[in-house]
Structure 1
């Protein structure tokens, strides 16, 4: 049987795209804070005092991944767990002052990285790419959530 053209396989292309993103992230944004960690800090900046399950839904990370990301950020002193002021039986999460500082520093860097990442595309192509990737990701997440 002949070899297949992997450039027609979306998973292969997605892996290459992820590799490019990881390289740009570590070069232009941060070697200490990962993209999922930034997503968590970003969500907690927008919606502080949410529980871990809600946070995972906000950033589209599965339960075990969001638990690991939160634990790593907490060890670094960037996120803290506090008692929910409305329900003392549960904990909520919030970015610490240091977490907010790290988030502010990384926002501009992520914007610069995205410009480099999407530079080969014109504005219309960028919008189309982001819309299509979002649709595929949402469909995959629905499949995951049904399992």
Structure 2
């Protein structure tokens, strides 16, 4: 038996591959847990919601619907995207015919985002599947605790964004 197989109790994974546990220091790190959650979420999104429309694109479509006639920079902040990523996301969605970008009346450099009919239809259908994914992801969490969990995750996100903006720890 190989050393790695012995470390795994002799159990091979798929196709004889050894499955190892992550080191304890990683399991104790909140960033590792967040990364695992995010990777699992992306895999579930791609499989069950939409393999073409990404989570950030979905967030932008949702924000456009919630804030009609808002400019691209303001919406970037609302969906936690930096402005260069937002510009790239919007260019791709505009090429797909999901949104239009027009010059803002108050500043020709700013772009006002609007949903197209195709964008509104994609948002409606994707939203239905995304809510079903939310239900599946929170299946083990009691319904009365789900709002607190979502609030805690968003609070952590805000705190981690503040830490990322610091010059030093």
Unpaired runs of 5+ in structure 2? Answer: 1-22
What is the distance in 2 between the residues matched to 1:131 and 1:61? 19
Q: Which moved more, 1:11-20 or 1:89-98?
A: 89-98
Deviations 1:73-132 (A, max 9, x none): 111111111233x43624311111111110011111110000011112112443332222
* Alignment match, 2:76: 56
* Alignment match, 2:88: 68
* Alignment match, 1:126: 146
Unpaired runs of 5+ in structure 1? Answer: none
2:59 to 39, 43, 52: 39
SS of 2:65 mapped into structure 1: helix
Q: How many residues matched?
A: 144
* Alignment match, 2:99: 79
Q: Whose helix proportion is higher, 1 or 2?
A: 1
RMSD: 1.8
What is the distance in 1 between the residues matched to 2:81 and 2:58? 12
Greater RCO structure (CA 8 Å; 6+ sep) = 1
Deviations 1:13-43 (A, max 9, x none): 0011001111110111101100000000000
For normalisation by structure 2, the TM-score amounts to 0.77
* Alignment match, 2:160: 140
SS of 1:36 mapped into structure 2: helix
For normalisation by structure 1, the TM-score amounts to 0.88
